[in-house]
Amino acid sequence: MTETKDAMGRVIRREMRTTASPEEVWGALTDPAELARWFVDRAEGDAVTGGALTWYWDAFGAAVAQNVDDAEAPWRLVLSTALEKWTHLPEDVRAGMAGSRVVLDMRIAREAGETVLRVVHSGFHVDAAFEDEYEGTSSGWQMALAVLKHYLERHRGQDRVEVLAFRPATFDLADLRKAQRTGSGLARWLTTSGEPARGDAFRLQLTSGRTLTGRMLAETDNEVLWSWDELNGVLELKAFGMGGGRWMVGLRSSLWNAPAGLKAALQSELDEAANRLVAAISFAPTRDA
């Protein structure tokens, strides 16, 4: 197996362990149809050395085109991309990144009866203009790998429906965390009863009338991921910087084998919840989180 040096700049390291086989993990990372079942809106390309893969998040108008530097099925996938091709970044940020590249090195192994996926994402600039991108990507990988584990172990091969509801907001991070993680905070915008627990199953009664029974699958400084047993899915409470001090907050739900009509109904419910969240946390910031 060839060695790849990290690109210059800051590095993100994440790990996921699963009961799925290396071949199943490899397929989830390389097959465009599989990628759309847990990660992106769509993907295209071939995971072969010298090839290319492009990931699309159509809801955000974002695309990341990547070179396949190394592909050794089912153990290693190395992708790289020029930062100026990250179309979701503001033009003024991309303009200063000419010649820079980001390297995504994903290695799969078998250890103690489990499959381990290790992700090393390197090449993030250290300047302030790139801080939101680095922090958002770091949080995003932790959330995404938890979704991947849930998908592989409970819904592999099932098509996914995604429901998004995001709003711009100005807030104090401490207020956001309370709104995402405590019974009293959630009662201001999402629930009528219940409180999430770490590790143990919990049950929330939602303002919409639905029940959410699940477990906390992941949490970062800005984001929380729960399983949602009643809907065969997950619910993410998300917040990410957009650069220039701008933030987006909201919810994203992934549902597998969703019945007809569920997406439209849930979209309306999440839109209303996102509006209440913004009303609950927004203010003109006067202190650090």
pLDDT for 114-128, tens place per residue? 999 999 999 888 776
Closest among 251, 147, 150, 166 to 208, alpha carbons compared: 251
Cα separation, 251 vs 169, whole angstroms: 13
Cα separation, 30 vs 25, whole angstroms: 9
Q: Could you tell me the domains of the chain? A: 10-155 (3.30.530.20), 160-281 (3.30.530.20)
Range from 130-139, 150-159, 270-279 carrying the lowest mean pLDDT: 130-139
When the pLDDT of each residue in the chain is averaged and rounded to a whole number, the result is 91
Q: What pLDDT sits at residue 179? A: 97
What pLDDT digit, counting tens, does each position of 193-245 carry? 999 998 899 999 999 999 999 999 999 999 999 999 999 999 999 998 877 77
Long-range contacts of 152-156 (CB under 8 A, 24+ apart): 152/18, 152/19, 152/20, 152/24, 152/25, 152/28, 152/38, 153/18, 153/19, 153/20, 154/256, 155/37, 155/232, 155/256, 155/257, 156/20, 156/24, 156/28
> The tokens of 177 are what?
């965390």
What pLDDT digit, counting tens, does each position of 87-142 carry? 556 666 656 665 678 999 999 999 999 999 999 999 888 776 678 878 889 999 99
Cα separation, 282 vs 167, whole angstroms: 11
